[in-house]
Structure 1
Amino acid sequence: MIGLALGGLGGGGSILAVPALVYGVGESAHTATTTSLVAVGATSLVGMMSYWRAGRVRVVAGLTFGLLGLGGSLLGSLTSRSIPNNVLLLAFSGLILVAGWRMHIRYAETPCCAKQLAAVSAGQDSATGVGGPALTATDKSARHKSSRFAAAGKVVIAGSIVGFLTGLFGVGGGFVIVPALVLALGYEMPVAVGTSLLVIAISSGESLLFRLSSEEIDWQVAIPFTAAGLVGVLVGGATATRVPAERLTRWFVWLLIAVATYTAVQSLMTM
């Protein structure tokens, strides 16, 4: 299921890894978050390859975004150690709902939509006289620099958040990365999805390195779990060309809601 979601939707699947390992395999929440990093990182890297071959991965931006999450990954990994299992799972159920909401609204966040809104806003300004006189070359340069600084600030914040979430919960954070790449850098959705898979692989590797000194990986679980994810991501990529993305997303959002509810109930019952 994780591989299918990553291959078909370009993100969101990693949010299922921890509940699957806890309730399906019987691992503790802390062990599951570490094991999930192996599966999520490897699966994202393989899933990225088809996007890379199609020229839909911005390597420099992905590396920059991933490296910005180093501090967040360290902080998240350290924080995770001090949180009880049931509290960690309860917080995780809330994160699953946020991921579902982000995936539900994600397809409206496109550069085309942003340009249409900008055109409407510009038309309203000109109609009401708010626009004022035409901008000089100096004004345009200043606005361009301001826009670049604002975009850079959004990327830094988003990268830090993704690193923290990856370190704390063992998730990829694609539901944060994709909107950031679309809205801050103006990437088209396929490019944002492909680049996000690179970022997820980098963030997972960073968080795994920080955890290896204090957490052990059950390779008897991690290896088959990862192998199944790799098969799923290839099947998901092929499925995405046959089933409308809107329908896939709707199905997956309902699955996330069900998993979040189950996780919340189970964690509350053990408190």
Structure 2
Amino acid sequence: MLSFFTLAFGLSWFCWVPYILSAHGLGLEPDIRFPGGEVGGQLIGVLPGAYLGPLGAAFIVTALAEGRAGLRHWAHRLTHWRVGWRWFFAVLLIVPIAILLAPLALPKTWGTITMPSLIILAAYVPVLIGQIITTAAAEEPGWRDFALPRLQERFGPILGTTILGVLWGAWHLPLFLTEWGGPDKPWWLPIIFIAGCVPLSLVMTWVFNRTGQSVPLIMLLHAGINSTYSLIWPEVFPTLESADTMWGQLIAATVAAIILIIATRGRLGLQTTRSVEDPGSPRYESARVA
């Protein structure tokens, strides 16, 4: 685990240095500009480091520590699509609705809510697919596929997920020095972001455990959250700023996490531990879920 997180942070942060120093970041190297404006800068400046970090670290550490058998287990979770249709319904519909209801707890949203246009709604699926490719596929093979099963086994679902949530949020910290974090960022914004990653991770752990460790569904969940915030959120709440977005995420995720912790008595869908044998390989521990 130490090797994985060291590689995930180190590889990503090293690759992000040009983007951070460029005109898209601190401006210390203003001649460095990425084509395509802000969106192009994020794709070219952020995406290689995102893929090389969590995804690359998970592959490298698994291959070196567990060999082909470990890679098979890792790849199995990456291709585990066979879950009930209700999970896809919940991720594609209920999650965006919950996200859009959360800001009602902020008084400044009252009287300022607008309906998204049909064009925005039609663009949701293409944006969702783009988020799966550019964000979820880069991160979740590392965070949820590699790290989560091991952290749950060692620390339990709540503490293990809390550790993962903090580290997952902290991995994004250098990006707050760039356009990725938005303009005129208050100093406390990264703290709220990391705090929001913890309850969000608890919700994702419950989905992960209850679906038999389906990483594709987690990728869809991750992409759906990002797509809702980046596309529909600004249309529905045009007066809210980036800081309000972070507060909205924290509120929605915290309420959902508390409900799940109480309903599952802290197990988050994790029931028992069983050994899974693979011919010619060492023993692997994995969670057996309902």
Tell me the TM-score normalized by structure 1: 0.30
Higher relative contact order (CA 8 A, sep 6+): 1
More helix by share: 1
Scaled by the length of structure 2, what TM-score is found? 0.29
By percentage of residues, which structure has more strand? 2
